[in-house]
């Protein structure tokens, strides 16, 4: 491997030569040098990582103009054949010295693949920073690069700056599985580390190996750790999961049998066998459990329960979640949305005057949805039903509101009350009252005249509170008007 690969690792030439040494040849003998190179190539074949790095070097780096041209063609759904005639790549494809552009176009079948291949070195440079299995980490970073290409907006900047976060995220998510074959939660790893530290301290103080009971008492005295957590951590330590062994390692020193000899290999498709066993059961007809219920029953976290339910759905053991996008039909809505609209329609048909807050309460009944939803969810459901013509619109279009305001303005000038206008126009009284407020705000109608009897009665009650703090709520309750109206009359009398 040449020293030029140091640019992918960001190492010095000396460090790169330690990783990828040049084959040694005998000087002053060309024939011997060729033979020696061929022998060394047979003895020390190139590693998969070296072959991959050589492949990455064959693809060019795109400048900003070429990158924007690629994404523009991708947005216009053009083919890679149309891109050959573009001026951004015209000179590069006919260059007799640099053949990388021609090689990239020949290996790529689509524009996405061309962008992907020309940015592979971004993943390599990021993966070389971490001292773990590099090829596995590069493959995970390539998945992040694919997601970045799918979501990148070229108007916001270069792909390199945007893709770096997706590449890092994909690598960080895969690092626990790459480092350790069996995934152990981070919290449990911290507890195991604490148990080992305590074990070492007890071993030094007692000058012998402590028992499990002594270790358990010391842990409970040092930190508030439950017995179940300590038992789980000790089980993980003794099970060998923290130190996985090889299948070829002998089980005992005096026995040549390995662990591989005890593994049954009958070529049975485990997934198909499990599907066959539960095919006749009533598993499919059971109500779908929520992630919270599953986590509580299994004793795991909610994200773990989500993954378990997802695997059951993929194998066909559970139906799709009602909110899953795959349940969208020709109406364009999911199964949950259609079910919610049907329940809201049934409730409104019984009483069209129900408000959204009342519909929310009725939906929470056990025979309905069984849980509370937001008022905004019910409002959206009613809008969908009104748009489909199944119910009347509670919110009118702007043109209808303008017509209503004109009708209400004409009837107010005739001296009709809001209740009489509502009966005349066959509209809810709240809608007519709102129209009156809009007309007063636009100075198209005067304030409604209040009954003089109310002013007289309020003045009578106020005279009784001479020298005493006035209780506006009590006066409003006796007269059957609002508290704000009593305070308004009080301010008018004082002015």
Instruction: Let me know whether 36 and 118 are in one domain.
Output: no
- pLDDT confidence of 256, banded at 50, 70, 90? low
CATH of the domain at 115: 1.20.120.1810
Indicate if 59 and 128 belong to the same structural domain: yes
pLDDT at 338 over 60: yes
* Mean pLDDT across 97-115: 87
**Which of 158, 179, 200 marks a domain boundary?**
179
pLDDT band at 324 (very low <50, low <70, confident <90, very high): confident
Predicted confidence (pLDDT) at residue 228 exceeds the cutoff of 90: no
Per-residue pLDDT tens over the stretch 420-431: 888 888 888 878
Q: Is the pLDDT of residue 142 over 90?
A: yes
Exposure string of 75-107, with b = 16+ CB inside 10 Å and e = fewer, is eeeeebeebeeeebbeebbeeeeeeebbebbee
Whether the predicted pLDDT of 332 surpasses 70: yes
Separation CA 70–CA 159 (nearest Å): 11
| Least reliable range by pLDDT among 64-78, 199-213, 273-287 | 273-287
The pairs formed by 139-143 with CB atoms below 8 angstroms and a separation of 24 or more are 140/170, 140/171, 140/173, 140/174, 140/178, 141/167, 141/170, 141/171, 142/116, 143/170
**Same domain flag for 69 and 165:** yes
pLDDT at 287 > cutoff 60: yes
The share of the chain scoring above pLDDT 70, in percent, equals 76
Res. 437: pLDDT tops 90: no
Q: Are 128 and 9 in contact (CB under 8 A)?
A: yes
> For residue 44, what pLDDT band results from cuts at 50, 70 and 90?
low
Q: Is residue 330 part of a domain?
A: no
Q: What is the mean pLDDT of residues 84-106?
A: 81
**pLDDT at 495 (0 to 100):** 73
pLDDT, tens digit (0-9, with 9 covering 90-100), for 58-72: 999 888 888 888 888
Q: Are residues 375 and 460 in the same domain?
A: no
Based on the fold, state whether residues 20 and 59 are members of the same structural domain.
no
Do residues 171 and 124 both lie within one domain? yes
Give yes or no for residue 154 having a pLDDT over 50. Answer: yes
Total tally of structural domains belonging to the chain: 7
Average confidence (pLDDT) over 31-41: 46
User: Rounded mean pLDDT of the chain?
Assistant: 76
How far is it, in rounded angstroms, from Cα 363 to Cα 339? 11
User: Does residue 386 lie in a domain region?
Assistant: no
Query: What mean pLDDT comes out for the span 32-50?
Result: 59
Q: How many percent of the chain have pLDDT more than 90?
A: 9
14 and 57: one domain? no
| Domain membership of residue 11 as a residue range | 3-45
When pLDDT is cut at 50, 70 and 90, the band that residue 22 belongs to is very low
Indicate whether 388 belongs to any domain. Answer: no
Specify the pLDDT at position 133: 67
pLDDT (average), residues 473-488: 76
Most confident of 232-236, 280-284, 294-298: 294-298
Q: Is residue 251 part of a domain?
A: no
**pLDDT at 32 (0 to 100):** 43
User: Do 175 and 90 fall into the same domain?
Assistant: yes
- My answer on whether 374 and 403 are in the same domain is no
Report whether pLDDT(35) > 50. Answer: no
What's the mean pLDDT in 384-393? 83
Assess whether 32 and 64 both reside in one domain.
no
Residue 249 lies in a domain: no
Q: Are residues 62 and 174 in the same domain?
A: yes
Last residue of a domain, one of 164, 179, 194: 179
The pTM (predicted TM-score) of the whole model is 0.37
Q: Over 70: is that where the pLDDT of 265 sits?
A: no
Q: What is the pLDDT of residues 349-372, one digit of tens each?
A: 888 878 888 899 999 888 888 888
Same domain, 96 and 152: yes
Spatial distance between the Cα atoms of 16 and 50, rounded to a whole number of angstroms: 12
Over residues 440-445, mean pLDDT: 80
Classify residue 250: in a domain, yes or no: no
- Between 363 and 7, the more confident residue is 363
């Amino acid at each position: 491997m040449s020293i030029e690969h140091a640019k992918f690792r960001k190492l010095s030439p000396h460090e790169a030569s330690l990783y990828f040494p040049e084959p040694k040849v005998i000087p002053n003998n060309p024939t011997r040098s060729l033979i020696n190179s061929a022998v060394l190539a047979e003895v020390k074949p190139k590693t998969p990582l070296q072959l991959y790095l050589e492949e990455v070097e064959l693809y060019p780096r795109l400048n900003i103009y070429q990158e924007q041209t690629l994404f523009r063609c991708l947005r216009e759904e053009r083919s890679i054949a149309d891109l050959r005639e573009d001026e951004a790549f015209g000179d590069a494809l006919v260059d007799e010295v640099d053949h990388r552009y021609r090689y990239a176009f020949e290996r790529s079948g689509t524009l996405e693949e061309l962008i992907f291949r020309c940015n592979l070195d971004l993943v390599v440079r990021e993966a070389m920073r971490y001292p773990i299995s590099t090829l596995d980490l590069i493959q995970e970073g390539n998945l992040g690069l694919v997601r970045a290409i799918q979501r990148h907006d070229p108007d916001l900047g270069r792909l390199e700056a945007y893709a770096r976060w997706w590449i890092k995220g994909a690598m960080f998510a895969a690092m626990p599985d790459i480092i350790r074959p069996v995934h152990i939660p981070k919290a449990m790893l911290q507890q195991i580390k604490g148990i080992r530290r305590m074990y070492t301290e007890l071993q030094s103080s007692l000058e012998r190996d402590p028992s499990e009971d002594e270790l358990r008492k010391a842990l409970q005295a040092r930190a508030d750790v439950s017995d179940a957590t300590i038992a789980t951590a000790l089980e993980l330590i003794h099970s060998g999961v923290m130190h996985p062994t090889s299948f070829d390692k002998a089980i005992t020193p005096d026995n040549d049998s390995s662990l591989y000899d005890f593994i049954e290999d009958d070529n049975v498709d485990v997934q198909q066998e499990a599907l066959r066993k539960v095919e006749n059961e009533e598993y499919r007809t059971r109500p779908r459990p929520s992630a919270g219920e599953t986590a509580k029953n299994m004793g795991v976290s909610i994200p773990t329960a989500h993954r378990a339910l997802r695997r059951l759905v993929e194998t066909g053991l559970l139906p799709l979640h009602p909110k899953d996008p795959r349940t969208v039909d020709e109406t364009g809505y999911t199964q949950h949305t259609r079910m919610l609209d049907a329940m809201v329609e049934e409730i409104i048909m019984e009483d069209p005057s129900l408000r959204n807050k009342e519909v929310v309460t009725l939906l929470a009944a056990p025979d309905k949805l069984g849980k509370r939803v937001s008022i905004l969810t019910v409002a959206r459901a009613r809008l969908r039903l009104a748009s489909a013509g199944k119910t009347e619109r509670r919110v009118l279009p702007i043109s209808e509101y303008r017509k209503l305001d004109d009708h209400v303005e004409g009837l107010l000038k005739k001296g009709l009350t809001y209740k009489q206008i509502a009966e005349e126009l066959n509209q809810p009284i709240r809608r007519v009252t709102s129209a009156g407020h809009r007309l007063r705000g636009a100075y198209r109608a005067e304030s409604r005249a209040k009954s003089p009897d109310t002013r007289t009665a309020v003045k009578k009650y106020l005279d009784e509170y001479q020298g005493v703090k006035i209780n506006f709520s009590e006066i409003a309750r006796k007269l059957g008007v609002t508290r704000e109206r009593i305070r308004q009359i009080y301010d008018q009398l004082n002015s």
